[in-house]
Each structure stands twice: as C-alpha cells, then as structure tokens.
Structure 1
Amino acid sequence: MNHLDRYQPIMRGVLRILVGLLFLEHGMQKFLSFPPGPAAGIGPGLGSPGAYAGIFELACGLLVAIGLFTRAAAFVASGVMAFAYWMVHAPQDPFPLNNGGDAAILYCFIFLYFVFAGPGAFSVDGLRDKAPKAS
C-alpha cells in the first residue's frame, strides 16, 4: 500500500471544497455581482439559460462545498455543465480551448468524479453518517 493512500479522503475533501467554492462564485457573480467582473449581473434576465445556470451554480456549489447531499448535488452540477458545454460552447467552435468551454468540461468531470467517489473528509455528509442512530 502506498503511504499516500491514507490522505486520499483528506485531499478529496479539499478538492470538493475548492471546486464547490469556485462553482458557487460563478453563481454569486451572476446574482450578487460579486466578485465584480465582466460577467457580473444576470445579463439577459431571470428567464434566461444563464440565470438558470446561476441558480444551479449557487445551490450546487454551496452543497458541494459544505459536503451536504454531495453525490446528488454533484450529479446535477455535472449535468448542468454538460448542458452548458453542448448548448453554449460547442456550437461556437469544435475545440474547447477556442470556444471557452474547457472550464465547463473540467467541472463536468470533476463533479462526476464526486458522484462516484463521495465527498471525502470535512463534509456534513460524513458527520451525518457518523452520528449515532436512534433506535
């Protein structure tokens, strides 16, 4: 057994928190204009696909970051990113580097990883699993 194996849950938890916070940041920029930047504000309006994506980014990003319902939230987030790639980025150019979709692909597959791997350390899901069961 590799001596680094014992750190897998910890590093999976660190990755989950980092990715969740980065995803949350995308939703915060759309709805709260924070952090300020070129994508701040909901743009075309509340009924737009970007606004719906922002809702998922806020909700799934927060759930993944704290590790609550991690697998379900990651599954939804993965699907949202797959949809975003194929509907927004891919029609522009077949190459992800050229169409700006490389982040969507990375998010999609990192979230898909959490669907199968679970939340790792530092998660509310982990605390719930370790809580004493009432009989």
Structure 2
Amino acid sequence: MIPIEEKTTFPANWAPRLLSVLRIVVGLLFLAHGIVKLFGFPAGAQPGQVALFSIYGLAGVLEFAGGLLIVARLLTRPVAFLLSGEMAFAYFIAHAPVSFFPGVNGGEAAILFCFVFLYLAAAGPGPWSLDARSR
C-alpha cells in the first residue's frame, strides 16, 4: 500500500515533467507540419511543398522555426504565444469559411494547437528546458 504522502506528491512531482513532455511532443508535431509545407516531405503529405513567399510559406516558416524553438526549449513563452495566434488565424482563414463545425471543416488540429500553445505561453516550458536553466 502506498503511503498517503506519496499519493499526494506523485501528481505534484510529475505535473511539471509532463508539461515538458507535452511541449516536446507538440513541438515535434508542429515541426512536422512545417517540414511538409516547406520541403514537401514526406512525399504525398498534404498540402505538399508551398511557395515560400505566400501565406502558406509564411505558415511553413513559423511552423518549422517555431517547432524547433519549442522542442529546443528556447524562448518558449513568446514563441508559443506567436504560434497560438498563427493557429487562430489559420483556423479562421482556412477552416471556418468551409463550415462552422470543426469536424466538417478539418480544423480540429488548428484549434488544439492554438490552445496548447496558449497554455504553454502561460505555463512555460516545464523543468526540462533551456529557459528553466537560465533562471
């Protein structure tokens, strides 16, 4: 049987670490979106390679560079805030005109990224980060 003290400290001890895990996984997924847009890799992924000097090219640059910075744990709060805004913009420009319902317009990922990045902007990078070491 686990002592009561351990039951109450386990979530408290692991919550910050899991925040770091969330940041790393979301950063890698976002980086993958940027790689698809900028480099067309992997072949057959949507939307494929886009023109660099277009709104989708700008999104690709933000997703690639922002994903790298989020994974690298550098400037997490400002980068996450910027990426949250990018995803809100992407939802209303690309998804909402198709339909009001996210299940129909394919905007679930944009909404999820938007709010996870907003959370990271408020909560910070977690203990496993370069940002945390500089304090």
| 1:34-87 CA distance string (max 9 Å, x none) | 222232211xx2232111100110111111111100000000000000000011
Question: In the TM superposition, what is the alpha-carbon distance from 1:3 to its structure 2 partner?
Answer: 2.7
Displacement, 1:2? 5.0
Q: How many residues align?
A: 127
Secondary structure of the 1:114 match is helix
Question: 1:4-28, CA deviations, whole angstroms, 9 ceiling, x for partnerless residues?
Answer: 1110111000000000010011011
Structure 1 unaligned spans of 5+: 130-135
Question: Contact (CA 8 Å) 2:38, 2:52: kept in 1 or not?
Answer: no
Q: Does 1:93 align with 2:108?
A: no
Mapped contact 1:75–1:112 kept (Cα < 8 A): yes
2:81 maps to 75
Deviation at 1:104, TM superposition (A): 0.1
Give the structure with higher Rg (CA).
2
- Corresponding residue to 1:104 among 91, 110, 117: 110
| 1:15 pairs with 2:2 | no
Opposite residue 132 of structure 2, the aligned amino acid is G
CA RMSD of aligned residues (A): 1.2
SS in 2 for 1:122: coil
Amino acid across the alignment from 1:96: P
Q: Which whole-Å CA distance do the structure 2 matches of 1:69 and 1:114 have between them? A: 11
Percent identity, aligned pairs only, is: 47
Give unpaired runs (5+ residues) of structure 2.
1-7
CA distance in 2, matches of 1:87, 1:38: 17
Q: TM-score, normalised by structure 2?
A: 0.89
Residues of 2 paired with 1:95 and 1:7: CA distance?
A: 35
